[in-house]
Structure 1
């Protein structure tokens, strides 16, 4: 168990260390010089840490935006938040999770080695999230412990192998190559966005950059995605704060003026996005060449599957619009829950989930369907990833009633599959 804890909390629990180790091994296999090995290893880890720093900065701003929305619209419900629900699962089912992760990675590597699915899923925290969801469902079933663990490990491995594969046709259109894939358990959401965007394919002469017609005179601002991101987030914060009372604003932000709060939160968010983009560029420049060494020896023609922010630099502004329209779709889904007048089953959009998954969906949708594809596909994507978690809640009954659930599409889909398999096996 100590060994498995070391894997789940040490190697897989620290994605930067895992990616640095992979880069180091790959460069050693390629017989690179010691200086190149050290440089590649450190830059790979540094790139991922930059992504984490940027995500943290952007996450704080998004968390504050989420608070404004909850306070302003007086909604109480369940928030899709992978980190929170996984932490609760680890408290109760840590042993199950560790074994599912360990055997799941082994089976996943065997699938990559001996099947056409050559994707190596390297997003460690998402492996942990999916293992946590599987453990929460299987640990309370009447299956024998090891039967549950092996079933969970097999499903985890299949999800890690199939997820990147079904997204890759769309990712390939973004990256223009097969050097990298997306390893993020929102593959069904990305596929939905890609398929819908395909209905709005643009002609070659229509391949223009995003410049909203209403503000063409401010074209210079929209050529700089960081400036445009800051402006949009400022407007979003300012609008959300209108619906919050002065007393609540004072409690949340220490009585600072609303315009100052909106300005600083938008700057924090944009700074986070900028750091994420810099980290992604550094990570890809090092991990992809280094991964070739491992690919040649262990998984011939293997493709590293990394977290979805790797798509952001290909269309930075599209990622922001994808987030906004995905969030809008989530708010519409929330409104439908509110109309049902059952406060305990309202799903409040997880803004962090919409930022990362919605942003990547926006890049895919814009690459394929340009403006119209981006708007429609991102909106429907946001609606879907807000609606699906509602149906996952009963499946997670082993965790008791908590105001959190898993946020991305694949968790609900795999949850449905687990429930179906259990009913098939146990006849219930």
Structure 2
């Protein structure tokens, strides 16, 4: 079942990448790419050993804390464990710590993060899933919680985006495959037209007609989403009983903290809302950053879908349609600004010098914890 989830995610990312390239070409954007995996991969030659040790030892600390504290969450999102372990390795290395101290401090931070942040998101996960069986294990957590708490003050949970009534005249929009396909067709075709046939056909499609190529990418994206959602449903159906067997022996009462797609099946309409408003929010954030003359992150459809989409689901769970719109907008707008700030103020030091050229972190959990660690280090003159 995990392979189905991975395959769906791979199809989505593969379809979004050329659409993103068309947007960059159309508007001649240059800047850094907010892509956490590329940052950690870029520094692997210098900090790969430290990162790997923090991943392994941090997981053991997570299990220990889940065993001895009331926060019984086991973090199982592998790539997020790797990303955050890399972030701590970079941060402590740039603060001048030795290899041994970097691993020790990184392990402590990793273990605490992977235990306590799922606990922070769990009240919202209960509302989203209607149960207490699974937890949220992703670097998006902080902005999801902040957005949901903020939206709660003005939203109406009873007006859920998942209960939107559509006129019989437009009843075909009730089908998620149809509505998402139409939205992505508009985005993909618009990007292709503005990028120009010459660029698309010479750089992306291998000579295929640029209009047909754009249509295929949009429909491929939708197909990937449908595969992903089906995989998630099957994954949850098998993962929860299997994990309960493990938990009873090692950490009684523990819940698995899983990747963000685990909630998509609970809010497909909110997911679409997040994608749309997240894309708009990124455009506005870029305009602001250009005006401020801060580093400009290259807009990411991956962020708009995976981050703003899941944040919209969090917002919808506590504040209905307003929460979904606010959550999707908030994540992309604030997410791009904080990612830019991390580069401008060198939160993680000189990434280029470590081998991560032209890329930056965007996961708010790493940025927020990194900021706190920086401030503490400053108090001690580091």
Q: d(CA) in 2 for partners of 1:208 and 1:163?
A: 26
The offset of 1:217, in angstroms, is: 5.7
Alignment of 1:376 onto 2:331: no
8 Å contact 2:77–2:138 — kept in the other structure?
Answer: yes
2:255 maps to what in 1? 303
The offset of 1:74, in angstroms, is: 0.7
Deviations 1:243-297 (A, max 9, x none): 2233222323234334312211111101100111011111100110111122122
SS of the residue corresponding to residue 297 of structure 2 reads coil
Deviations 1:95-140 (A, max 9, x none): 1112211221111111101111111000011000001111112123
The offset of 1:192, in angstroms, is: 2.0
2:89 maps to what in 1? 135
1:160 maps to what in 2? 114
Q: d(CA) in 2 for partners of 1:322 and 1:303?
A: 27
1:281-292 alignment, distance < 5 Å: 281-292=233-244
1:35 maps to what in 2? none
Q: d(CA) in 1 for partners of 2:196 and 2:215?
A: 19
Q: d(CA) in 2 for partners of 1:399 and 1:386?
A: 18
Q: d(CA) in 1 for partners of 2:308 and 2:32?
A: 19
Alignment of 1:312 onto 2:264: yes
1:215-226 alignment, distance < 5 Å: 216=167, 219-226=170-177
Structure 2 unaligned segments of length 5 or more: list them.
none
8 Å contact 2:144–2:327 — kept in the other structure?
Answer: no
8 Å contact 1:350–1:407 — kept in the other structure?
Answer: no
Over the aligned positions, Cα root-mean-square deviation in angstroms equals 1.9
Aligned residues: 376
Instruction: Choose the corresponding residue for 1:405, options 352, 360, 376.
Output: 360
8 Å contact 2:279–2:332 — kept in the other structure?
Answer: yes
2:3 maps to what in 1? 49
The offset of 1:201, in angstroms, is: 3.3
SS of the residue corresponding to residue 243 of structure 1 reads helix
Q: d(CA) in 2 for partners of 1:399 and 1:74?
A: 25
Structure 1 unaligned segments of length 5 or more: list them.
1-46
> Do the aligned partners of residues 56 and 218 (structure 1) sit closer, same or farther apart at CA in structure 2, a change above 3 Å counting?
farther
Alignment of 1:362 onto 2:317: no
> Do the aligned partners of residues 221 and 408 (structure 1) sit closer, same or farther apart at CA in structure 2, a change above 3 Å counting?
farther
Q: d(CA) in 2 for partners of 1:396 and 1:350?
A: 21
TM-score (norm 1): 0.83
1:161-200 alignment, distance < 5 Å: 161-200=115-154
Instruction: Choose the corresponding residue for 1:227, options 178, 187, 192.
Output: 178
Post-superposition, which runs of at least 4 consecutive aligned residues in structure 1 deviate over 4 A? 210-213
8 Å contact 2:156–2:318 — kept in the other structure?
Answer: yes
8 Å contact 1:238–1:262 — kept in the other structure?
Answer: yes
SS of the residue corresponding to residue 396 of structure 1 reads coil
Instruction: Choose the corresponding residue for 2:30, options 76, 79, 102.
Output: 76
The offset of 1:54, in angstroms, is: 0.7
8 Å contact 2:289–2:337 — kept in the other structure?
Answer: no
1:103 maps to what in 2? 57
The offset of 1:329, in angstroms, is: 1.3
> Do the aligned partners of residues 80 and 178 (structure 1) sit closer, same or farther apart at CA in structure 2, a change above 3 Å counting?
same
TM-score (norm 2): 0.93
The offset of 1:409, in angstroms, is: 1.1
8 Å contact 2:161–2:324 — kept in the other structure?
Answer: no
The offset of 1:228, in angstroms, is: 0.8
